[in-house]
Amino acid sequence: YRGFILVLTFLFYTAYHLSRKPISIVKSQLHQNCSFVVKPADLNVTDNVTWCDWAPFDQDNYQNLFGILDNCFLVAYAIGMFFSGMFGERLPLRYYLTAGMLSSGLFTALFGLGFYWNIHSLWYYCFMQAMNGLVQTTGWPAVVACVGNWFGKGKRGFIMGVWNSHTSVGNILGSLIAGAFVSSAWGMSFIVPGIIIGTTGVICFFFLVERPEDVNCSLPQHHESSEREPLLGNSPSSEEIFSNHTSVQATEEHAEAISFWGALRIPGVVEFSLCLLFAKLVSYTFLYWLPLYIANVAHFDPKGAGDMSTLFDVGGIVGGIVAGVISDYSGGRATTCCVMLIVAAPMLFLYNRIGQNGVPTTIGMLLLCGALVNGPYALITTAVSADLVPSTPLCLRTHFLFLHSAKKTFSPTQRSPPPPLIYQQLVTTEPLNLLTLGLSFCAGNPRVSERELQSTVHCDGNYRWNWIDSCCPGWSLRRSVDGVVMLQGREGSKRSEVLAAQLNITPAAKNQPTASKP
């Protein structure tokens, strides 16, 4: 079942990203230099430069119009993500994902049908982009929750690194599918991905199993004896205190979701959010503008530019897996992100300078930059988000809130207006400024990671101490006089036993003498 769920959720989010990608491929077809296009003999036009462009993108301000299209999707996505966690935690995940994928397929296909219906209204395409952005938010919180239900901590960095390649695989497939139709009938570049994601929605409805208990399977062991390393460092005291672990006990008691501000108080959420802000900004810039950048600077045709842009995502797959493996064996998520992003900054600058000096150089630099930028991005959005709070029924909804806070607290500057509008202005003046600005954003990450590394390791260095201290006011971990770590709370012994079982800590007996927390 675990392997089946991993493959199924991989396919689901691959379809989500597959349906997002066509717009970046089609841009270079909606507006191009028509003087290089063979004109039909029966076509009588006076403008040799824009006769083949698709109105309203045949105007001189086409870059602004493309920026508006991207913003319609991203602003709607940012707004929708704010509410997606609340809906996702109250609705069955199977129905939630199914509705999201069917709706996304509908709006993606409707965008492409504008080609066959001969629609030239900017508002039509903006509306379809905005609606697609809203329904696309159903994907990420739901698939992460499903995976969190089925997998314990184990070697989560490696598992999540492989699983998170669905983002890059979706981008690659979306580019190839859109590129196959872009020159002949760009409407099919949207219709085919729309059909694909709609089909996966039907598959989700019939085959997704949300939780192990739904099929009488035992819950995953979230804290195994072999895994004692903390999130961001190692400490002798943590190994002494948590030397003996037992499997998580199932409980029927259902906990309430913590508040938004409670999620923000989890140590590391704010710091990793800032780190993700810059990595995601660069990644999304490449997602939406790399094919157009390659077409303008390297003078590829739309299909060739789309195919070449997939190399960035190929590098991202390798980078995500490598980052996960390194973080598993080093025990340092933040250090891994920090090092990769420090190296990414000069590599972006180098691509800025030599990336167009021949096809081999372009291929090599795109692979390298993709690995260094998307590796930390993949690590933060999967293994780190799963590590910041325990993946137990008590904290299942905290995952929604973490994803919401980590991605959206600072995302008004990450996913909404600034990236498309800023970058489209830079492309119109000097194309290489696109990557120069990306370089400056990436360079800000090491300081954020350093701050996170210094501030979150306290007590014994184990994230379970941090989570209790920050998210459960009134609850505390105490060491008894005989050295046993126990959990104490103000809400009664029964609640204490439930929470203690999920954290693999002995609940403290009433009036039992305890020593101070080490």
Full 3-state SS string of 436-474: HHHHHHHHCHHHHHHHHHHHHCCCCCCHHHHHHHHHCCC
pLDDT of 192 higher than 50 = yes
pLDDT at position 60: 84
Q: Convert the pLDDT of each residue in 299-356 to its tens digit.
A: 788 888 888 889 999 998 898 888 888 887 876 777 787 788 888 878 877 887 787 7
pLDDT at position 487: 55
pLDDT of 283 higher than 70 = yes
pLDDT of 35 higher than 70 = yes
Q: What is the mean pLDDT of residues 10-25?
A: 93
pLDDT at position 161: 67
> How many residues comprise the chain?
518
pLDDT at position 385: 64
Lowest mean pLDDT among 29-33, 81-85, 236-240: 236-240
Q: Using 50, 70 and 90 to split pLDDT, how confident is the model at 238? A: very low
pLDDT of 133 higher than 90 = yes
pLDDT at position 241: 35
Taking the C-alpha atoms of residue 310 and residue 169, their distance in angstroms, rounded to an integer, is 9
Taking the C-alpha atoms of residue 392 and residue 248, their distance in angstroms, rounded to an integer, is 8
Most confident stretch, 36-45, 86-95, 247-256, 467-476: 86-95
Residue where the block lists tokens 């970058």: 423
Q: What is the mean pLDDT of residues 181-195?
A: 94
Q: Using 50, 70 and 90 to split pLDDT, how confident is the model at 516? A: very low
Q: Using 50, 70 and 90 to split pLDDT, how confident is the model at 193? A: very high
Burial of 480 (C-beta count, 10 Å sphere; 0-12/13-18/19+):
middle
Most confident stretch, 35-44, 234-243, 374-383, 424-433: 374-383
Per the model's pLDDT, the better-predicted residue between 272 and 105 turns out to be 105
Q: Convert the pLDDT of each residue in 391-400 to its tens digit.
A: 333 333 334 4
Q: Using 50, 70 and 90 to split pLDDT, how confident is the model at 455? A: very low
- Best CA proximity match to 112, nearest among 95, 129, 99: 129
Side-chain half-sphere CA neighbours of 74 within 13 A: 26
Average pLDDT, the chain: 71
Q: Convert the pLDDT of each residue in 157-178 to its tens digit.
A: 567 767 878 888 999 999 999 9
Omega cis (within 30) before 56: yes
Q: Convert the pLDDT of each residue in 74-85 to its tens digit.
A: 889 888 887 887
Q: What is the mean pLDDT of residues 89-104?
A: 91
pLDDT at position 499: 54
- Best CA proximity match to 37, nearest among 26, 50, 25, 46: 50
Q: What percent of the chain has pLDDT over 70?
A: 60
pLDDT of 206 higher than 70 = yes
pLDDT of 425 higher than 90 = no
Q: Residue ranges of the alpha helices (H) in 412-444? A: 418-429, 433-443
Side-chain half-sphere CA neighbours of 22 within 13 A: 30
Lowest mean pLDDT among 273-282, 385-394, 477-486: 385-394
Q: Using 50, 70 and 90 to split pLDDT, how confident is the model at 240? A: very low
pLDDT of 187 higher than 90 = yes
Whether the predicted model's global pTM rises above the 0.85 cut: no
Domains of the chain (ranges plus CATH)?
2-236+242-456 (1.20.1250.20), 472-515 (no CATH)
Q: What is the mean pLDDT of residues 256-276?
A: 67
pLDDT of 412 higher than 70 = no
Contact assessment for residue 185 and residue 85, using Cβ atoms and an 8 Å cutoff: no
- N- to C-terminal Cα separation, the chain: 41
Q: Using 50, 70 and 90 to split pLDDT, how confident is the model at 378? A: confident
pLDDT at position 415: 37
pLDDT at position 46: 65
pLDDT at position 389: 53
Q: What are phi and psi of 487, to 5 degrees?
A: -110, 130
Q: Convert the pLDDT of each residue in 491-511 to its tens digit.
A: 444 455 555 555 555 555 554
Q: Using 50, 70 and 90 to split pLDDT, how confident is the model at 195? A: very high
